[in-house]
Each structure stands twice: as structure tokens, then as C-alpha cells.
Chain A
Amino acid sequence: MVTTLVPLIVVFPLAGFLFLGLFGSRIKNEALIGTLGSGAVGLSFLSSGWIFLSMLAWEVPDRTFSIELFPWIASYTGNPASFVSSISYRIDELSILMTLVVTGVGFLIHLYSIGYMHGDRGFWRFFAYMNLFIVAMLNLVLADNFLLMFLGWEGVGLCSYLLIGFWHDRKFDVGGYKPGTATTSDAAKKAFIVNRIGDVGFLIAMFLIVDRFGSLNFESVFGAASVLTPGNVTVFWIALLLFIGATGKSAQIPLYVWLPDAMAGPTPVSALIHAATMVTAGVYMVARCSILYALAPDALTIVAIVGAATAFFAGTMGLVQNDIKKVLAYSTVSQLGYMFLAMGVAAFGAGIFHLMTHAFFKALLFLGSGAVIHAMHEEQDIQKMGGLRAAMPVTFWTFLIGALAISGIPPLSGFFSKDEILWKAFSSDYGSPLLWVVGVAGAALTALYMFRLVSLTFEGGPRYDAHHVHPHEAPRTMTIPLILLAVLSVIGGFVGIPESLLGGNAIEHWLDPVFQRAHARLELQPHDPDVVEYILMAVSVGLAVAGILAGRALYLRLRDLVEQWQRRFARIYNLLWNKYYVDELYDAAVVRPIVTLSERLLWKWFDVGIIDGVVNGSAAVTAKVGEWVRRIQTGVAQVYATVFLAGILLVVTWLLFR
């Protein structure tokens, strides 16, 4: 039963995509399309749920297995080094968890989209793309070799491009472009291209893996790696290059610039792809390759530093944004930083735990913002909102739950996962107190900007024209997912209650077998709960509460003070508002030179000058030669006779003297 269900997990949304893609334009009934699209993902979720429940009953070693569908690349070189790569899926504790998250949250978002995309001309296209995305993401997390994972990796990148640019002609200001000139297609292009830059790292890492280990299959590679000793240079480079790929896909420094601009797409897209699933692919990948990172502690350090820096850095930028979705986008970048921080201090399980809880509350926050945007007739500037609490109570309360969760208030899910990360950052052999400080500062910022958002959007008095704009609550297809996600945000953390709080830390025990090799190599010392942990917990919660109160106070009652500060610290404010001018920097340092180089060197000089020159030139030469050669035909017979004579002379001479 299980073996047939595994491929079905992917087949359901694939069938959905094919059907909707081929026939969707002819189906006029939105409910039908929505049901088909959501139903496909729903069936996927049920299948993976069944497999998960079965796995609970099995012994630990039985929980890991691969199912091969068919060989993809089989190259037999004759000697023992042949290369085979197949479409096969690996079920283990980590991949089933990821699958549940992807299909579960994905199903809720599909449901929400039925209401959100109502009336859109490309309704069927949207669901087709979303199903395709689910297919690609599932391939990514279920792959049992790097090549199939890369296929999924690129597939989600493609779907991200298709979905960001869904309303392709809409004007949207993209970082690095002159204001008013860019459209959503430019945002989609930017996302895809920046991702591609990271993918170069992934590809080179794959080449190195094949070179070093002779295979791309996870089991083969990790099995061979586990007997190596740390300090191997090749493994370091593999780990680092894979991480570069992760910075692209998961929007870390330096390749995060695409994520805020990806908000050009419809809100369900932002929720699914740019919050809950695609951007977590990098985190998943690092977790999957934990043994490789364990063999390269320097790479681990780099991951941790980049993660912590991104967490803080993005938080500062989210503080001054006025677009509701952009605040959430920077928040996503920041939370991803936390996940990488966890990976970098060898707390792999904690990172995955945060991935799961973040999927719940970030999707919730995005979907809530979508409800708000719809209610405000596509207005996204929070400065023009306010007082929506009364008009949209369900949205407000679920949004509030999401904000509390992300701020790390116990007993919501965000508290348990974030706190685990912070504790491990401080206490792990591979962490340091400095990382903890940066992390906790970022947490404070998170609380601050989230409650700035809540206050400006829902509380206080309306700052919009109440005569023309009448916000109302969202339809049930939108509010039910919100409620469900809110419930998950509340109870989702209970699977990871740490020992210090008398919990069993179920999730980390569940994931232990996956990280066993890495843990063995890293020789981590288990810590008994001690006072320091409680102190740190208290500090982080306290800072979170302080952030919440400050956010509410500043933006509800002390707005004038805020404006005063904006003027006094105008330079800093502008720096943050312009996102540290990173987009402009990239544009000047990378984009402009490449474009100029391509235009001047590759296009005008090489393509037009040399290639066209050679082609046209050879034609011109032929014509010229022809012009010269035709003069032989003088038309006068005696000339021909003279030539005859010369020929005779030559032949006779040759015959005589050879």
C-alpha cells in the first residue's frame, strides 16, 4: 500500500496540472477548477499522511527506504565508474515531514485562492501553475539523489517566475529599476536570474560530488562521506557551493534581493512559495546534506554567520517598509536567517522545526494580509489603513495570533522553535554567545516591526476615506484556511517542547535518525538543562514582549514621536528605507557591466563584427574573386588560342623533362 502511495503523492498534483493546463481554459466554472486544483493537493496530503501514520508504527531502520520509478540517466562507461541517476523517491523522517508541510499548507492556500483569485481571467492558469509548483516542490523534497532534487529546484524556480509574473503587465516598482518603469515581469525575471546565480554554486557542487564520490545518490554519497575525517578540502567546497545555491533559493545575503520584489505576485503565491515552501528548499537541502557540513566545520561557521547577519539585517529593513507584503517579505528573509543559523550551529533538527512552525504562521500572516488587501480594494500601503479590527474580526484575530507566534510568545509555536535555535546558538560547540546576541536582537526587531504592522493596519482610527472604501470580512473560503493555520500556529509548537520545559522534544527525536551520521561526526555533547537556558529564555521572551509593547505604543499613540525621529535620524532612516542601497549597488557593480559588456563586446563586436563579418566577408570575397576570375572570358577566340598554346607548352615541357 505504502509503495503505491509514494508515487501517487506526486502524481495527483501532476495530473491536476496537466488537466488544468490542457483543458482549464475551456472550463467556465471556477468552483470546479478550484476544487480540482485543491483536491489534487489535498489527495497528496492524505497520501503522505497515511504514509506518515504507517511510519509511526514501524521500526526506525524501516522508516528509510527508496522507491525507484524509472532510470533517467544511465551511462555505462565500461569500467566500474558508471553513472546512473534515476527518478526515485526517498521516504525518511525528514522527507515525509517536509511533504506533510508542503502538501498541508499548500492545500490550505489552494483553498484560499479559490476566494482570492475569484473573477480573475487567468483563474485556471493560476491553479495549473500552483499544481505544477507543488509537483516540483515534492520532487525536490522527495528526491533520493541530487539530480532529481536539482530538477525540483529548478522547477520551483520556474513556477516562481510564472507565478510572480502572473499579472505580467502590471506596473510594479522593482529594486534596481527606475521608479515607474518596471513591471511584474521584471520582478519575475529578477527572481529567476538571481536564483540562477545561486544555482551555479549548486551545479558546481554536483560536479564535485560526482568527481569525488562517483554518484549523486544520497545514500551512496552520504554513506561514503561518513567514513571521511573532517578537514577534507573538496568536501568543504561542496558544502560551501551548496550553501551558495541555498542563499539564492532561500534569499540569504547576498542573494536575497529578489524576495521583496517577488511580492509583485498574487498574495497566495507569496504565501505558498515565498514563505512556506520554496524558500525553505535551501534549508532542507542543508539539512539533507548534514553529514557534508559536519565534515566541514568552517562551512558550518559561514552558514551560521550568514544566517545570523541576514536575520538581523533583514529585520532592520522590515522596520521602515510601508507595503504590508514587503514587511512580511523581509520578515521571511529574516526568519530564514534563523533557520540557517540553526543549521550553522549544528542544530539541524531545530532548524527544521522552525521551518515547520514558520510555514504555519508566515502563511497565516500572508493570507491575512491578502484578505486585508482585498478588503481595501488592492491598497497595500499600511499608512492608508487602520482600524480594520472592527470590520474584519476573524482576519484580525488570526493575524494577531500569527504575529504573536512569530514574535516568540509562549506557548505559541514560534516560541518553542525560535527559542530552541537561540539556545543552541549560545550553547552548541559550534555556536557562540555573539551569535546569540545577534539572534536575540533580531527577535526583538521581529516583535517590533510585526506589531508596528498590526497596529498600523488593524488598530487605531481609519486613515482611509471611509466614504469610498468599505472594508468587509473575507469570504469563508478565505477565512477557514486562516483559522486552520491559526490553530496550527498555536498547537504546532507542542511537538517540540524541549526537555528543559519537561517536554519530550518529539520532533527532534523523530528527525534524529536522519542526522545521525552528522551527529556522530560532530561529536556533540548533549547538554542537560541548566539555569543558563532558563535565563536566556526569559531574556528572549522579555525582549519580545518589550518589542510588542514598544511597537504598539509608538505606532498607536506616539506617532508624532516616530515622525520626529524620522526627521532627526533622516540619514539612517533613508538608508533603511532604500534597503541599504543594495539593489543600486548590484545594478551598478554587476548588472550594468554585464549588460554593457554583452552589448558592446559580445553583440556588437563579436556577433555583428566577427560572425556576421566572417559570413558576409566570405560572401564578399567570393564575389570579388568571381569578378576577377570572369575577366578570363574575353570573348576573343585568339586569346583562348593563346592560352591553349601556353598549355601545350607546359604539357610538352613536363612530358619532356619529368
Chain B
Amino acid sequence: MTDLNSYLILSAGVFILGVIGVVTRRNAIIVFMSIELMLNSVNLTLVAFSSFLGDATGQILVFFVMTIAAAEAAVGLAIIIALFRNKQTVNIDEINLLKW
């Protein structure tokens, strides 16, 4: 039962959960966490393919994705901190200065 398809389905499901989290939640930090969820589900796909196809490239890619995800999380959280200092909120709906 643990064939490739099940891993892929699993990954797709969690990815969509991440998407729902991104477009639904108002708290910026939760949105970030949903983004991490999405990234991880993609990692799962890559590793699954790498394992089943016998190619190490997938896992190398996962390595780099993790690195970049770490960097992005750091910078993103720094932005949130800076934002919080100015607007005293992490509510995304209130951060709309580019509104028409």
C-alpha cells in the first residue's frame, strides 16, 4: 500500500491544507506557518520521488529547499517584527496601505 501514489496524495492533501491556511487566517504568523506547511509537503513529494526512482537529486533539492526556507522564515519574521513595531498588529487585513 505504501506505493508512490499514497505519498503523493498525502503530500497534495497537506499542501492544500497549507493553502487554505494562507488564504484564510488573519494572523500573519499563522500564515507563515501555513507556508512552512506547504514547503514541507513539497519536500515530501521530492523525497518520495527520489526514493522510488533511485535518484539522489530529489533529496539534494530538499536540502536546498530547507536552507532557503530557513532563510526566508528568518527574514519574514523580522519583517513581521518591524511591522508590529509600526502598526501594533499582526492582522493582515489591517495592512492594506496599497489599497485603492
Contacts and interface: CB of A to CB of B under 8 A. Distances in A.
Given A638-B23, A641-B23, A633 B100 contact: yes
Given A636-B93, A637-B92, A645 B99 contact: no
Nearest to B24: A638
A596 B36 CA distance: 77
A631 B96 CA distance: 13
Interface in A604-658: 630-638, 641-642, 645
Contacts of B98: 633, 635
B17 interface: no
Contacts of A636: 92-93, 95-96, 99
B48 to A, nearest CB: 20
B97 interface: yes
B96 A638 contact: no
Contact of B22 (A633, A634, A638): A638
* Interface size range on B against A: 10 to 19
Interface in B9-32: 19, 22-24, 31
A641 B18 CA distance: 12
A634 B98 CA distance: 7
A204 to B, nearest CB: 61
Nearest to B28: A637
B23 A645 contact: yes
A626 to B, nearest CB: 10
B95 to A, nearest CB: 8
A635 B99 contact: yes
Do most interface residues of chain A lie in helix, strand or loop, or is the interface mixed? Answer: helix
B71 to A, nearest CB: 20
Given A636-B92, A636-B93, A638-B92, A630 B23 contact: no
Given A638-B22, A641-B22, A642-B23, A630 B100 contact: yes
Interface residues of A, number: 12
Nearest to B16: A645
Contacts of A642: 23
A634 B23 contact: no
A632 B96 CA distance: 13
Contacts of B93: 636, 638
Contact of A633 (B24, B95, B99): B99
Contacts of A641: 22-23
Interface string B60-94: 00000000000000000000000000000000110
A634 B96 contact: yes
A636 B19 CA distance: 16
B44 to A, nearest CB: 20
B70 to A, nearest CB: 22
Nearest to A641: B23
A44 to B, nearest CB: 78
B92 to A, nearest CB: 6
Interface string A430-442: 0000000000000
B19 A645 contact: yes
B100 A631 contact: yes
B46 to A, nearest CB: 19
Nearest to B93: A636
Nearest to A629: B100
A634 B92 contact: no
A112 to B, nearest CB: 80
Contacts of A630: 100
Contacts of A632: 100
B4 to A, nearest CB: 20
Contacts of B97: 635
Interface in A435-469: none
A287 B6 CA distance: 109
Residue among A630, A631, A636 with most chain B CB within 10 A: A636
A647 to B, nearest CB: 13
Nearest to A630: B100
Contacts of B31: 638
A635 B100 CA distance: 7
Nearest to B19: A645
A637 B97 CA distance: 11
Nearest to A638: B23
Contacts of A637: 92, 95
Contacts of B100: 630-635
Contacts of B24: 638
A204 B31 CA distance: 82
A272 B76 CA distance: 96
Nearest to A642: B23
A365 B96 CA distance: 93
Contacts of A633: 98-100
Nearest to A634: B99
A636 B23 CA distance: 10
Nearest to A639: B23
Interface centre among A632, A633, A637, A645 (most CB of B within 10 A): A637
Contacts of A634: 96, 99-100
B96 A635 contact: yes
Interface string A242-271: 000000000000000000000000000000
Residue among B93, B95, B97 facing the most chain A CB atoms (10 A cut-off) = B93
A631 B98 CA distance: 11
A362 to B, nearest CB: 81
30 contacts: A630-B100, A631-B100, A632-B100, A633-B98, A633-B99, A633-B100, A634-B99, A634-B100, A635-B95, A635-B96, A635-B97, A635-B98, A635-B100, A636-B92, A636-B93, A636-B95, A636-B96, A636-B99, A637-B92, A637-B95, A638-B22, A638-B23, A638-B31, A638-B92, A638-B93, A641-B22, A641-B23, A642-B23, A645-B19, A645-B23
Closest A-B pairs by Cβ, 6 of them: A635-B96, A635-B99, A630-B100, A635-B98, A633-B100, A641-B23
Interface of A: 630-638, 641-642, 645
Given A634-B96, A634-B99, 12 more contacts: A630-B100, A631-B100, A632-B100, A633-B100, A635-B96, A635-B97, A638-B23, A638-B93, A641-B22, A642-B23, A645-B19, A645-B23
